[in-house]
Amino acid sequence: MASQDSAKIPRGSPRGASLGITTCALAETVTNAVSSNIVPDMATVDVMPGLTFEKLVGSLLKQQGYEVGNMRASSDYGVDIIINKDKERIAVQVKRSKNKIARKAISDAVAGMKYYNCTKAMVVTNSEFTEDAREFARGTECILIDRTILQQWLDSSKHAQSVAAFGTIGPTNN
């Protein structure tokens, strides 16, 4: 049986309408959270807009000591972000998807690596890679970051924020 409030919502209304939440409002909330360096959980990552996911990945890479640049709304030559650290220059393609990532994404990232004179390529996804994509990547300078590794990055980032906010807990010298 539907609740009294949900019965008043017209058919075809966006999900969350009973709470006054629209898809645009949700996207804006997630974007603001990422801009404020709030680390989302994987469920939030799975529904965030692609550009917001790119910003999140850039932020996570920055926390790992990379200089992050070349972030743009539309990718050129299969590259969304270029990162630098020491003598490495890496062309990064970011793919938020519900489906497994196919070989073409790796091929595009490797082509972008060459176009932008990078030493390596990287494809980051909230999903998994097809076996064909993994096999193709083995013969290239392409690093694959799948859902499992991305989750580790998110966990590490949350831990770093916790330590920054509260300090480490250990023995005191009183």
Local confidence pLDDT in tens for the 174 residues of the chain: 444 444 444 444 444 444 444 444 444 544 454 445 678 999 999 999 999 999 999 999 999 999 998 666 555 788 999 999 999 999 999 999 999 999 999 999 999 999 999 999 999 999 999 999 999 999 999 999 999 999 999 999 887 765 555 555 545 454
Could you read off the pLDDT of 7-38 as tens digits, one per residue? 444 444 444 444 444 444 444 544 454 445 67
Give the CA dihedral 3, 7, 10, 14, nearest 10 degrees.
0
CA–CA separation, 22 vs 107, rounded Å? 36
Which run of H or of E encompasses 31?
A: helix 23-35
Domains and CATH numbers, the chain: 67-156 (3.40.1350.10)
Sign of dihedral through CA atoms 31, 154, 138, 81?
positive
Q: Determine the distance from the C-alpha atom of residue 112 to the mean position of all C-alpha atoms in its chain, rounded to a whole number.
A: 19
8-state DSSP, 155: H
The pTM score is 0.73
* The pLDDT value given to residue 6: 41
Q: Which helix (H) or strand (E) holds 63?
A: helix 50-63
| 116 token code pair | 């932008």
